[in-house]
Amino acid sequence: MEKDEKTGEKAPPMILLDKVGKFYGNFRVLSECSTQVAKGEVVVVCGPSGSGKSTLIKCVNGLEPFQEGEILVNGVSVGAASTDLPKLRSHVGMVFQNFELFPHMTILENLTIAQTKVIKRDKAEAEQRAAELLHRVGLHIHATRYPGQLSGGQQQRVAIARALAMDPICMLFDEPTSALDPEMISEVLDVMTELAQDGMTMMCVTHEMGFAKRVAHRVAFIDQGQIVEDVSKDEFFDHPRSERAAQFLSRILHH
């Protein structure tokens, strides 16, 4: 992974959401969601269940269509009909709550398939990259196994490696630890923390407030499809402005 040197200059944001609105039929899921993620920045998105966090993050790489507003990823409009979505997605990594490794492929194949089929790397190069990343997440000895033979925490680390194998310009996480047993959460968060420290641009939906405190630059709080708070990490934890965010925090921190 190349490190992004932080320059002091104001660069255009890697991810920009401008007044995004979305409906499922007549039901409004998102309204006027605006936020941005600068290059090298880590933004944690949190909020109560059903508030629209997954929907929002899936809009960012066009897995869900949206009806209002605009989303730009590295300057490319996600909603525009002319956008080559597969190409855009190929350099936006995404990690899911349920890992979603391909169960009929070995771990190594999971990491090489998109490299060879989407960005047309040759097999040797793809396997080399896969091996590097498996080393990095500490799972190289499992390369020939199938996902079903790995623990949840191991599967999620493979899923992160699979996304990184495409050399993404930013990473999206949708509750990457909430399907895990407690003792496996930290091994995944450690990988994510390291990634953040290496300068990866990250948008993470998570309820792991320890992780947010450690690595996030900003926190966006969503409630009922609206971003009600979008502030620096310290401000969010020390002085939440909205009552709903304060309530959410007290509930999540005190149990």
Ligand X SMILES: Nc1ncnc2c1ncn2[C@@H]1O[C@H](COP(=O)(O)OP(=O)(O)OP(=O)(O)O)[C@@H](O)[C@H]1O
Residue 24 Cα to chain centre, angstroms: 23
Pairing of strands 92-95, 170-174: parallel
Residue 249 CB, shortest distance to another protein, in Å, is: 29
- How many residues bind ligand X, per CB under 6 A? 11
CB nearer ligand X, residue 29 or residue 195: 29
The interface partner of residue 2, options being ligand X, another protein, Mg ion, none and the CB cut-off 5 to 8 Å by kind, is none
Evaluate whether 253 touches 209 at the Cβ level (below 8 Å): yes
Q: How far apart are CA 241 and CA 253, in angstroms?
A: 17
Residue 93 CB, shortest distance to another protein, in Å, is: 8
Residue 24 CB, shortest distance to ligand X, in Å, is: 3
- Residue 90 region by backbone torsions, left for phi larger than 0, else alpha for psi between -120 and 50, else beta: alpha
Binding residues for another protein restricted to 138-157, rule: CB under 8 A: 146, 148
Binding residues for another protein restricted to 60-79, rule: CB under 8 A: 61, 63
CB nearer ligand X, residue 56 or residue 165: 56
Q: How far apart are CA 13 and CA 141, in angstroms?
A: 38
Q: How far apart are CA 39 and CA 230, in angstroms?
A: 17
Query: Considering only 3-11, 54-62, 65-73, 160-168, which stretch makes contact with Mg ion by CB under 5 A?
Result: 54-62
Exactly one of 15, 20, 29, 107 binds ligand X (CB under 6 A); that residue is 29
**53 lines the binding site for ligand X (CB under 6 A):** yes
Q: How far apart are CA 79 and CA 82, in angstroms?
A: 9
Exactly one of 35, 51, 54, 155 binds Mg ion (CB under 5 A); that residue is 54
Q: How far apart are CA 206 and CA 176, in angstroms?
A: 7
| Contact code string over 160-199 relative to another protein, x by CB under 8 A | --xx--x---------------------------------
In what side-by-side order are the strands of the sheet with 170-174? 92-95, 170-174, 202-205, 42-46, 218-223, 226-232
Question: Which residues contribute to the site for another protein (CB under 8 A)?
Answer: 58, 61, 63, 85-87, 89-94, 96, 98, 100-104, 113-114, 117-119, 146, 148, 162-163, 166
